[in-house]
Structures are given as C-alpha cells and as structure tokens.
A and B are shown apart, each in its own frame.
Chain A
Amino acid sequence: MHLGIDEPRECQYNQICTHNSSPMETPHSKKRKVKRKWQIFPGRNKFYCNGRIMMAKQTGVFYLTIVLILVTSGLFFAFDCPFLASNLTPAIPAIGGVLFLFVIGMLLRASFSDPGVLPRATPEEAADVERQIDAANGAGGPGYRPPPRTREVVINGQTVKLKYCFTCKIFRPPRASHCSLCDNCVERFDHHCPWVGNCVGKRNYRFFYLFILSLSFLTIFIFAFVITHVILRSNRTGFLSALKDSPASVLEVVVCFFSVWSIVGLSGFHTYLISSNQTTNEDIKGSWSTKRGKDNYNPYSYGNILTNCCAALCGPLPPSLIDRRGFVQPDTPQPAAQSNGTNTCPTTQLQSHMCHQDQCIQSTKFVLQAAVTTPLLHAQPILLGGGPVLQPKPSVGGPCSALGPGQPSLPSSIPGLSCGGEVLALHDSENHCHHHLHHQHFISPEETPCTAHLGHHMPLYDPASQDSLHEDSVRGLVKLSSV
C-alpha cells in the first residue's frame, strides 16, 4: 500500500506475469499515446478546443441564452437602431453595441472558464486521510459505516464544519461544495447555473455577476429604446401602423419585459450577496443568518461593503487548479475516479477489480502451494497441475469476462476437487475457503475443472514445474508485499 501502485499499473504488471514473454509490455505501453489531463478528467464536464474550454455536461439552456441574446440584440440593431440613430442620436447604437459585446464577453468567460474545481485526491492522499479518520473515530466492526466525517475549524471566532467528500476523497475547504451535476468539488461554490452552462464558483463569480449586471442594463436599454422607437413612430403614423412597420419591436418588447424582472431581480440579489460576502449556497441554507443564533455571523466578511465588493470583483484571480492542458505523466498517481461516493464500484470497474482480487488470490494460492509442496516432495498432482495450468491463463480481461456473467456458488466447486480424490487437495481448497470465502465464487469454476483434469496427466514431481512454482510463489510474495 505504501508503494502507491495504482490500479492500471497492477493490471499491467499482472499481464506481464501471466504471459510468458516480455514483449507483452512494450506494445501495451506503445499503444498509449500521451494524453492531456482533460481527457482523463474524472468529473462530468465537457471540454472543447483541446482543453481550453470547460463546460458542464448539459449545455442546452446555455445555447438558449445565447440565441435569446443574439436574436433580441440583432433585431434591435437591425430594425430599431436605424430609426433611432437618424432621429435621435447615433450614440444609441454605439452604446448598445458596447453593452452587447460586454454581455457576450462576460457570458462566454463565465461559461468557458474553470469555476474553481478542486482536483480529486491522489490515492496516497486519500489513504492518509482515511488513516487519520480511522484514528479519530476508532475502528468499527466490518460492515459498520462510520458517521459522516467532519472536521471542525474555528475561523474568525466562528466554528465551521468541514465535510468529507466521498467522491473526491478530500475534506472540503470552507465554502466549497460538491456539485452533483458536474460531479466536482468547487471552491466558494455559489450555484450551478444552467443558463450559463457551468458552475459558478470562486474563479468565475465575477464574470457571472458582471454578465447579469450588464445584461440587466442591456435589457433595460433595449426595452426603453424600443418603446421610444414605437412611440416616436406612432406619433407620426399612428400606433397600429407603427407596429406594422416594425414588427420586430413587439418581439423585443415581450422578451425584454419578461427578462427584466428576472435578470434585474437576480442582479439585485447578487449585489446583496457580494456586499455581505456570502454565496447563494450559504444564503439559501441560512448559514450566517442571525435566526440560527444570536452570535451567528459571517466570518468571511471584511466588515464593510466596499471592501467586500472590491474583494469579490477586483481581487486577485486565482489560477485553475486542474491543469487541463497539461500532459499526463506515465507515473502520475491517478485520482480517485472510480468511486461514486459509495464503497461499491460501478460495473464498468467491476472487472478490473475482479482482476485485481483474482490475481491477488492467485498469488496467495501460489504461496500456499509452495508452502505445502516444498516439505512434501511427492506432491499432489492437482496442486502441481495448478501451477502450469494457471500460467497460460488468458489476459487479465479473459478470466474476468469469463467469470463475470456466471458465478456458480461455492458447493459446486467441491465435487470438482474431490473427483481428484486427494485429501490434501481438499485441505487446500479448505484453506481457500477459510481465507478467501468471498472470492472463491470467482475462481473455483475456472480452475477446478482444469486442475481436476490435468492433475491426472501431470507427473507426480516435475522439477521444471517445481522451479516455476517457486518463481510464481516468489512473485506472489512480492506482489502481496506490494499491496
């Protein structure tokens, strides 16, 4: 465990063992092209432009946002601006244009940037944290799930609970939260915005805020000037003919009318949040509300509104922690990608887990066999047969795929062994029963018919196979020590 060998490595190593030729390793490693880190990112995000752009998985509503803004603004510039520019002032389309570009810029920046995703713990880190938790909680019996893991820390006089994230295998920093849609822990998590198609967190909160602020200005701007346009036209030609001359205005007014309430409301809400240095998450939960207690206050607030605003909007922009475009180093420990917050592995990983356990059991078997056969030179045919039979076993995927669908129960394996009629073989299987009762399901159907079969044909004592058995047991011992 302390050697920190990660799972893909284990399977690769096992492949070398089960195949009797070294070239097995090189084609396998040559097949691997150098990958960028975004390609193996464990969260549910989509990446574009070779990792430069990062968005959530569901982006449908984002495209709706873009279409709404583009269409409304486009109609405004196409139908209303010519009239307004000639009749009022050309500054109107100019200001409108600047506002529009700013809105689009902020939207794209909020949507495409990393919100502040925390990378998942490396296997060694996760193990270290687990050890600390076990030491703190005390060992429970098997099958006992410990209570939710929390750490308490005092920040500026307030006690804050840090929660343990089962998916990312880290203790979340204060104000961080795990987004279930993106399956990531995000620093200073505000909320997941479907309109923006991304989480809103530490790194893109200011872009999000500037987006909704500028969008409220743009919406009010378009609304006001479309109304002005229609009024000016109806002064000349009458209301109905004004509407006929500029039909797009109706659509714009409708869109803007409904948007104004929500967008302006949202801007006002976020202005309040920024001035009090809270996140949407905290506000909704009422974390710092005085309703919870008289002494409850926000420990992150700087005291005055101006500092809070400046800190949120003009403070230093932290860099992305996930290094999307970096290259994956071949010996980099892979983060905890498989677990989904529970102890069971998803079915896609089940086979690799079975392989891992399968090989572990085999190595134990070799050790036990070696231990049994060495003092007893007139070894049982079945046990010796066990060695060479297992060597030409197909690749790691083979036994797993064979064993995957069908898993016969334990008792069926015993008749297979007993047909060999050797007492020690049964004894051996009993050892396996005791040590690996759980795993016998996977191994017995494959091995016992073979061993029973070939056991009869193998010579009683074969020095060559004895040597290979020794080698196997040494390898097995070494592998065991590596786990």
Chain B
Amino acid sequence: LWQTHSLQDLRQQAAIASKVFVQRDYTSGTICKFQTKFPSELETRIEKQQFEETVQTLNNLYAEAEKLGGKSYLEGCLACLTAYTIFLCMETHYEKVLKKIAKYIQEQNEKVYAPLGLLLTDPIERGLRVVEITIFEDRSIGSR
C-alpha cells in the first residue's frame, strides 16, 4: 500500500517537466522589468509573440506601479504629514497595481497558458526576481 502511494506521488509530480525562469532586465536601472527574450524551452509550446506580449504588459504594469509623478508625490507627502498612519486605512498605489497584476496573470493563465500546459507564477511570490513558467509534461506522451 505504502509503496504504491509513494510511486503515485512521484507520477503526479512527474507531470511537471521543467520550469523556465524569465530573469529581470536591469538595463533601465532598478525598476521592475523582465526580459522579453523568448526562452528556448518554450519554443514548442507557445508563440513568441504571445509570450512577448504577456511580459511586455507585465512590464508596463510594474512601470505604472513605480511611476514617479504628481500622484505618487501627493500620496507620499500626505502619508508623511500623517506620519504614515494613513496607510492603516488606505492601500498604497503600488499595492493596488499589484492586485491588478495578480488578476492579469490569473486571466492569462486561464485563457492562454493553461490550455497549452503552462503555468505562470506571479513574480511577487518569487520576490520580483523572476517570472516562473512551469511546463507540464504532456501526459498523453507517457510518464517519465
């Protein structure tokens, strides 16, 4: 009993063939931006354009979160004047955009990536270091 249980565990895990990591692009400084270079492991799975579009949209959303402008300065000054107690009841602009990003990733997973046997992990769960794409093994081929 216990042997089959452990083997089944592995068979389930064997479904994850590999993980691809899209690294950060630091050429514009320390802002959060991911490389749009198409990883070779995804060549057989997804179209280059679709992938680039996803990463570019993510980059744009992060840029929106970190944008320096009148609105963010106002928020910063107001927070300073209230000794940052205002954030006990209000969400920062960054947090609002992060929620938007989470929703976008979920939507992309449902519509585009899951049907192709891929899964995007929200970068915030990896410390904004990488966009982790899990490639699932196609079970019809056979388990390894």
Q: Which residues of A does B touch, CB under 8 Å?
A: 2-5, 13, 16-17, 20-22, 24-25, 101-102, 105-106, 109, 118-119, 121-122, 124-125, 128, 153-156, 160, 162, 170, 173-175, 187-188, 206-207, 210, 299-300, 307, 310-311, 313-319, 321-323, 471, 474-475, 478, 481-482
Contacts and interface: CB of A to CB of B under 8 A. Distances in A.
Contact of B76 (A106, A156, A315): A315
A318 B83 CA distance: 17
B2 A102 contact: no
A22 B3 CA distance: 9
A2 B17 CA distance: 7
Contacts of B73: 310, 314-315
Given A109-B84, A155-B29, A316-B72, A170 B129 contact: yes
A299 B92 contact: no
Interface string B76-95: 11011001100100001111
A318 B94 contact: yes
Interface in B80-120: 80, 83-84, 87, 92-95, 98
B10 A22 contact: no
A321 B128 contact: yes
8 contacts: A13-B9, A105-B84, A119-B127, A155-B27, A155-B29, A313-B76, A315-B68, A319-B124
A174 B95 contact: no
Interface string B1-35: 11101110110011011110100101111100000
Contacts, number: 130
Say which size band chain B's interface belongs to: 35 or more
B71 to A, nearest CB: 9
B67 interface: yes
B38 to A, nearest CB: 16
Q: Which of A118, A124, A475 has the most chain B CB atoms inside 10 A of its CB? A: A124
A88 to B, nearest CB: 27
Contact of B130 (A3, A125, A319, A323): A125
A106 B81 CA distance: 12
B26 A316 contact: no
A125 B26 contact: no
B21 A125 contact: yes
Contacts of B79: 317
Interface in B24-68: 24, 26-30, 65-68
B68 A311 contact: yes
B12 to A, nearest CB: 10
B19 A4 contact: yes
B139 interface: no
Contacts of B66: 315-316, 318
Contact of B13 (A5, A153, A170): A5
B75 interface: yes
A173 B26 contact: yes
Which 8 pairs from chain A and chain B are nearest by CB? Answer: A314-B76, A119-B127, A321-B127, A22-B2, A314-B73, A105-B83, A153-B26, A316-B72
A319 B92 contact: yes
Nearest to B85: A105
Q: Which of B5, B17, B84, B144 has the most CB of A within 10 A?
A: B84
A448 to B, nearest CB: 27
A321 B24 CA distance: 15
B30 A174 contact: yes
Contacts of B13: 3-5
Contacts of A299: 29
Contact of B14 (A3, A188, A315, A471): A3
A173 B30 contact: yes
Contacts of A313: 76, 80
B53 to A, nearest CB: 23
B23 to A, nearest CB: 8
Contact of A155 (B14, B26, B72, B87): B26
Nearest to A472: B3
Contacts of B95: 319
A125 B129 contact: yes
A360 to B, nearest CB: 15
A316 B93 contact: yes
A173 B65 CA distance: 18
B29 A125 contact: no
A17 B6 contact: yes
Given A153-B27, A321-B127, A125 B132 contact: yes
A8 B92 CA distance: 38
Contacts of B83: 101-102, 105-106
B142 to A, nearest CB: 14
Contacts of B2: 16-17, 20-22, 24-25
B25 to A, nearest CB: 9
